[in-house]
Amino acid sequence: MNVPRRRAATLKDVAEAAQVSTATVSKFVNGNQRFTAEVEARLARAVRELGYSLNPMARGMITGKTGNVGVIILDIRNPYFTSLVKGASRVAAGAALNLIIADAAESTSPELSVLQSLFRRVDGLIVSSRLPAPVIETLFQSGTPVVFYGRPSSYAEHHSVGCDNYTAGVMLGRHLRDLGHRKISYLGFSGARWSVEREHGLRHAFEGADLSLRVFDAGAPSTEEGERLASTILLSQGLDDAIVAYNDLLAMGILLEAKSLGIKVPEQVSVAGFDNIAYGRLVSPALTSVDMMGEATGELAMRRLLGVIKGETTAPEDDILQSRVVARESTRARKPRVNA
């Protein structure tokens, strides 16, 4: 069983062993000041022998800094979020800050103890604008610097970064309309505010055209759930021209189930999603998607956060990243239908 849990050495232990004051040790281990060679030697030896390392909590209490920044994501298994983390991570590393991550697991429970876990253990936080309001309120109270990802955010006092979901919906809608699609199903995820925005955008793109839109709701934005619901969508009321899913994971589930049902994509029905996750390129047919710029979002959000932490007093930005349709094999023009 783990080595006899001996109490870790403290500054005081080191001070005693090296026969100096704790202040001296503190300055030494932090590299804030040089001492006589003789003292430094004693210090170094004591530190080594005791296996001493600073207690960051005690340190943080005084300095008010932790050297960490945090990001709260909604599902670590969703490549959109992992890309976001990568982007944020790169920028944080550049500023010599460590990034720690907490996964809210798509839970929207108001307590959101996940916030608690990072709370005060980081110098700043990047969080989703999808987090429940009371949670965000708590966050504000604490005075922790915060930047939101995901547009739009309704917290005007703070930075937010992300693609506009409505616009993204419009873009994908146009793409499908141009392909001659009119009968469409949207597999949304009502657990995410973003979903309805994408849906509205989709609708908007078809104004003036005789769109027939059926809307379904997924219980989770995952491949498995897409697979589960696909048959309902595919087999009811005749085949759509296209099925749009709230995200690529759902869309890929649909692809999978279509295959097992013997329905050809894109020949019989087009399928598209949002996020443009890397795997979309690997599936077959390759998935058409709207790039929601996960990585760039993470990068910029972190850059903004660093600014806030440094106390820069620029006005809060509402950065809107440009999304774009990435057309691949899963969407194809419909032959005009023979009408009666």
- DSSP per-residue codes, 47-70: HHHHT----HHHHHHHHS--SEEE
- Residue closer to its own copies (CB basis): 172 or 255: 255
83 is a site residue for its own copies (CB under 8 A): yes
6 binds, among DNA, its own copies, none (CB under 5 to 8 A by kind): its own copies
12 binds, among its own copies, DNA, none (CB under 5 to 8 A by kind): DNA
Asked whether the CA dihedral 239, 225, 276, 189 is positive or negative, the reply is positive
Please give the Cα distance from 30 to 37 (Å, whole number).
17
33 is a site residue for DNA (CB under 7 A): yes
158 binds, among DNA, its own copies, none (CB under 5 to 8 A by kind): its own copies
- The contacts found for 141-144 with CB under 8 angstroms, 24 or more apart, are 144/119, 144/120
Which one of 41, 45, 49, 58 is in contact with DNA (CB under 7 A)? Answer: 58
Region binding its own copies by CB under 8 A among candidate stretches 24-32, 143-151, 173-181, 185-193: 143-151
Alpha helices in 51-164 (DSSP H): 56-63, 79-94, 113-118, 133-142
Please give the Cα distance from 256 to 242 (Å, whole number).
15
- Please, what is the Cα angle at 187 between 240 and 129, to 5 degrees? 150
Distance of CA 169 to the CA centre of its chain: 19
152 is a site residue for its own copies (CB under 8 A): no
- Residue closer to its own copies (CB basis): 196 or 252: 252
> Per-residue contact track with its own copies, 204 to 243, x per CB under 8 A?
-------------------x--------------------
- 270 DSSP β-pair partners: 242
- DSSP per-residue codes, 175-188: HHHHTT--EEEEEE
Which one of 95, 235, 282, 333 is in contact with its own copies (CB under 8 A)? Answer: 282
Residues 12-31 that bind DNA (CB under 7 A): 12, 19-24, 26-27, 29-30
Please give the Cα distance from 27 to 130 (Å, whole number).
44
By CB under 7 A, name the binding residues for DNA.
Answer: 7, 10-12, 19-24, 26-27, 29-30, 32-36, 38-40, 54-55, 58-59, 61-63
The residue ranges that bind its own copies (CB under 8 A) are 1-3, 5-8, 51, 53, 55-58, 60-61, 67-68, 76-77, 79, 82-83, 85-86, 89, 98-103, 105, 113-114, 116-121, 138, 140-143, 145-146, 157-158, 223, 252, 255-256, 278-279, 281-284, 308, 311-316
